[in-house]
Every structure is written in C-alpha cells, then in structure tokens.
Structure 1
Amino acid sequence: MLADLRLITVQEYHRMAEAGILDADERVELIDGYILKMAAKGTAHASAVTRTEQLLRQLLGNRALLRFQDPIRLNNYSEPEPDIAVVQIDPLDYADHHPTASEVYLVIEVADSSFQKGCGLKAKAYARSHIADYWVLDVAERKLHVFRSPSQDGYQTETVLREDATISPLQFPNAIAIIRDLLPKLRAE
C-alpha cells in the first residue's frame, strides 16, 4: 500500500500554493512528502511562543536570527514551519531562500494539542536532516523535551526537563534559560 503513495516535493508544494490549490491562509506544512494540517494556535501556545521569543532575543542578541512559524527547508520533501527556528544570520535575511538544515541551530515546537506530532513525525524528519538541537515545549505538562544526537532512525537522546530546570542551545552554551520562563505564566505567578 505505501508503495502506491506519491509524495509531493517542495517545488510541487510551492506550485500548488501559487496555483491556488492551497489557500493562502490555509495552515499546512510539508513533512516527508505529505501535506499536513497544522493545529490551531491556542492561547497557551501563543503565550509560550511570545515568552520564548522575548527570552531568546535577550539571550542571543545579534548572534543568530530568530524566525517564527516560517518555513525551513530540510530536503526535497520537507518544508516544515516550526514555531521557532534559531538560524544563522544571512546577509539577505533569507530573501532568496528559506533556511536549510545546515543553517539551523535550533528548532522549537510548542505543543499543546500537537504533542504527538512534534515528538513523532516531525522529530524524525528533523533528525534525518541532522538538526542537532530540537526542543518540544509541552505547555500542558509544563515540560521541555530536548532531542539531540540525530541519526537516520531518529534522535538518539531525549531528555525531559521540568519547569525548574535550565537549558541552553548547543550552539550557544552560555545562553542559559529556566524552562519556566519559556512557558505561559500561571495565575499565581
């Protein structure tokens, strides 16, 4: 049955959007040749993205470029739109191409209802593309899943950190963050 599937390339995906087959406001992304619907952004998700953005800007300054829910090109069959991508600085600010896997320092997905997709299908696609540092921020459980040591079979290590733990990106070991500062605030805070 799987042999009967026809996978879509990044170029075909772009042509589908240009031809109007995919609506401009349709929330989809291409992973391993499949067009996947993206989950709606809830308030906890939006809050976590905003808080993580503010913290990363403070910690990284102008050492990297931060991209939010914008495409990165992993290969000919995958162009996900991660919640946050920390990428190399480009002189044209990526006006002529989306960042490729070799230009990505860190990918962060914020998960509330999409936790399984973030830790499953997407994690495998990122690992096969050698994204060395992949984080899934689980807003419901208030934990950070850190995936490292990528291989063709997936990530070889997964560390789960509670909200009182600290983390730093592999490429920026001095940029230390407390997980709690990435998560939505609680009413008692």
Structure 2
Amino acid sequence: MTQTRLRLWNVDEYHRMFETGIIKTEERVELIEGQVIPISAKNPPHAATTLCASDYLKRLLAEVALVRVQDPIQLSQYSEPEPDIAVVRLDSRKYIDHHPAPNEVFLLIEVADTTLEADRKQKAPLYAKAGIAEYWILDVNQRQVDVFREPDLVFYNQQLILEENVSISLIAFPEIEVQISQLFP
C-alpha cells in the first residue's frame, strides 16, 4: 500500500499564495495546522450575531482591549485562523506590522450556527495548544455560550455552557461583567 505524505504550508508560504494569485483575495480560507481550509459562508443569523457581539464587546472593553472582527491571528508557524471575534491587547499601530500572537490574545470567539461541532472539535484544540487562555463559542441556535478555559497542550481543562440569562467575567478583565444576552441579537 502506498502511503501519501501531506505537505504542510507555513504562514510565509500561505501569504505568498495570496501575493502570487494562487489563492484569490476573495477566497475565504484560513491556515489551520499547515492546511488551507475554506471558511464557511456566513448566513444572516451568523452575521447578525457577530455584529451584535463585537459591538457590545467594543463598548465594554473600549479602554482596555481591541476587538477585531474576522481578522487573522497567528497562532504558530503553521496556523493563522480568522476567528469571528478576537479580543486582543491594545496596540497603538493597530497591528500594522503583524497579526496578534497568542501572548497578545485575551479571548477568541467563534460564532456557530452550522459549525458548532467543528468549532468544538477543530478550533478548541487548536486554540488550547496555542495557549489561548479563553475561548468562547456563541451557539446561535441555542442562544448559549460554550466557554473554554485553562488550556493545556491538547484541550481545555474547564468547559462551561452558559445560558443567555447569566453573565460572566473575562479571565483577563475580572472586573468587567459580560451579559450573555447582549451577545445575541
């Protein structure tokens, strides 16, 4: 039996694919563990939830963090995902010379309507392995939030599911209370 070896791409090669037109700029893809993966289309509930949650977090965190929407973060040499929302350190130049790295990320959020299983099984281990302290999945269909905390090299040690009638504080900003209901339209 012939065994096929998988060729993994690094971040520099991935960027060159865009520069040379191998990947068109209008293609929605992200680099996950060396593989170029298509990003799911955003239907109206997904788009509305992303907008609602990002606007709310921008108001709450205006003086302490930057809220990026569907922009890349660089987790490693082989992973540059585009989470729906990334709460990152303030940067006076708005990350003009690099994408935020794990040590600059406070919270990552994926909005899930059709991607819940992939966000749990693919994104959660990826973010845990990179040391992202806190990861949330906004479940559009159930109007609840899956919260992942305490990363190790494989997954998160703490997992909670919060209903929309409760609130939570971010690990990085325990004094700021996030009302779950405000994350959804």
Same fold (TM over 0.5): yes
| Distance (Å, rounded) in 2 between the aligned partners of 1:47 and 1:167 | 21
| Distance (Å, rounded) in 2 between the aligned partners of 1:160 and 1:2 | 41
Give the CA deviation at 1:51: 1.1
Which residue in the other structure is 1:141 paired with?
142
User: 5 Å matches for 1:149-168?
Assistant: 149-168=150-169
Q: 1:118-145: CA deviations, max 9, x gaps?
A: 1111111110110001000000111100
TM-score (norm 1): 0.93
| Distance (Å, rounded) in 2 between the aligned partners of 1:148 and 1:117 | 18
| Distance (Å, rounded) in 1 between the aligned partners of 2:77 and 2:134 | 21
Give the CA deviation at 1:91: 2.3
Runs of 4+ in 1 over 3 A off after TM superposition: none
Which residue in the other structure is 2:14 paired with?
13
**2:21 counterpart of 1:26:** no
SS state of the match for residue 120, structure 1?
A: helix
Structure 1 gaps of 5+ residues are 185-189
SS state of the match for residue 159, structure 1?
A: strand
Match of 1:132, as an amino acid? A
| Distance (Å, rounded) in 1 between the aligned partners of 2:144 and 2:156 | 18
Give the CA deviation at 1:48: 0.9
Give the CA deviation at 1:157: 1.4
| Distance (Å, rounded) in 2 between the aligned partners of 1:106 and 1:168 | 11
SS state of the match for residue 97, structure 2?
A: coil
Q: How many residues align?
A: 184
TM-score (norm 2): 0.95
Which residue in the other structure is 1:187 paired with?
none
